[in-house]
């Protein structure tokens, strides 16, 4: 529908959500639930996933290309749902896309961890690049300077989630191998909070909870990112009025619509068909 002014166009424009693949659909799901009147355009850079094992330079270049495509689609705000891109490329993206607000998932994830921890001992599981970049560790210490933070790269969690093996003996064996030395430590040193620092990991939460037990709070960025997005849209007067309710979700991918639909359904929490996915070139 034609807009009467650029300002109206901004309000009615969709929110852009970007991820390296399908994992960010866990974030999209939380955003759409928290802001049901908004339209969303989600882009998964599936032709070049995963970002988590790549170098900072490559990640930055890929993220800027993906964000440019979403800007061309007229988004009013950009959510970087990929932890790796948030950890490595957020400043570059914000500088490039000002005045369009850019929101990452690392700060909201760190805030969730600081809210959940009792003893201030926090473990972060993430991809190699996210762990090496140290963004989570820094963000947690900014909000809780006395926190004891340990970060561990768990790349096989990504493969398990993509394969749809979210439960059972294999997942539990992998969890034990990655995390036993951290969580079998003495009661006065073991973390009381685990941050899922990769958008693929929330689908593994039941298995993680079973292995780690009730004493550990498991948090991810999805809920707090939704709260942060609400704040950003309100602050910029960009929130869509309830009277102009949208609720549409457009899904874009840079590779096979078939695979995006098949694997993505696990993360979005509802079945997807290839026809729901538009393939774009970066």
- Name the one range near a second copy by CB under 8 A: 52-60, 97-105, 115-123, 133-141: 52-60
Contacting a second copy within 12-41 (CB under 8 A): none
C-beta closer to a second copy: residue 163 or 278: 163
Considering the complex, what minimum distance in angstroms separates the CB of residue 200 from a second copy? 12
154: annotated active-site residue: no
Shorter beta-carbon distance to a second copy: residue 58 or 223: 58
Token couple for 197: 């620092």
Of 11-19, 70-78, 141-149, 173-181, the segment contacting a second copy by CB under 8 A is: 173-181
CB of 177 to a second copy, least distance (A): 6
Task: Map the footprint of a second copy across residues 211-270, applying CB under 8 A.
Answer: 255-256, 259
CB 78 within 8 A of CB 98: no
Structure tokens, 161: 């989630």
Residue 143 known to be catalytic: no
Q: Which is the catalytic residue, given 77, 114, 154, 198?
A: 198
Q: Omega of the bond prior to 50 within 30 degrees of 0, cis?
A: yes
Q: Does 155 bind a second copy (CB under 8 A)?
A: yes
Please tell me whether residue 165 binds a second copy under the rule CB under 8 A: yes
- Rounded CA-CA distance 23/19 in Å is 7
DSSP string computed for 191-209: -SEEEE-STTGGGGHHHHH
Q: Is 45 in the site for a second copy (CB under 8 A)?
A: no
The reply to whether 274 sits near a second copy by the rule CB under 8 A is no
**Maximum Cα interatomic distance, the chain, rounded to a whole number of Å:** 63
- Phi, psi values for residue 113, rounded to 5°: -65, -45
Is the distance from CB of 251 to CB of 10 less than 8 angstroms? no
49 three-state secondary structure: coil
Element (H, E) at 212: helix 205-212
Interacting residue ranges for a second copy, rule: CB under 8 A:
46-49, 53-55, 58, 128, 155-156, 158-160, 162-163, 165, 168-170, 173-174, 177, 255-256, 259
Catalytic residue numbers, as ranges: 82, 198
């Amino acid at each position: 529908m034609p807009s009467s002014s650029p300002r109206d166009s901004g309000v009615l424009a969709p929110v852009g959500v970007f991820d390296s693949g399908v994992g960010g659909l866990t974030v999209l799901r939380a955003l759409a639930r928290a802001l049901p009147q908004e339209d969303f355009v989600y882009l998964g850079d599936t032709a070049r996933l995963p970002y988590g094992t790549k170098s900072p330079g490559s990640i930055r270049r890929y993220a800027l290309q993906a964000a440019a495509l979403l800007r061309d689609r007229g988004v009013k705000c950009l959510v970087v749902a990929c932890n790796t891109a948030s950890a490595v490329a957020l400043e570059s993206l914000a500088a490039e896309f000002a005045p369009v607000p850019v929101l990452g998932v690392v700060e909201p994830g760190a805030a969730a961890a600081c809210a959940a921890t009792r003893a201030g001992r926090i473990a972060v599981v993430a991809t190699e690049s996210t762990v090496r970049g140290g963004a989570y560790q820094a963000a947690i210490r900014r909000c809780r300077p006395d926190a004891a933070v340990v970060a561990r790269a768990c790349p096989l969690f990504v493969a398990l989630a993509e394969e749809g093996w979210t439960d059972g003996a294999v997942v539990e064996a992998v969890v034990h191998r990655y995390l036993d030395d951290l969580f079998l430590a003495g009661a006065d040193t073991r973390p009381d909070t685990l941050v899922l620092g990769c958008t693929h990991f929330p689908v593994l939460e039941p298995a993680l909870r079973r292995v780690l037990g009730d004493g550990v709070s498991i948090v991810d960025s999805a809920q707090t990112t939704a709260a942060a997005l609400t704040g950003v849209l309100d602050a910029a007067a960009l929130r869509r009025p309830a009277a102009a309710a949208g609720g549409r979700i457009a899904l874009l991918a840079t590779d096979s619509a078939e695979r995006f639909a098949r694997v993505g359904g696990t993360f979005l929490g509802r079945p997807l068909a290839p026809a729901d996915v538009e393939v774009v070139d970066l």
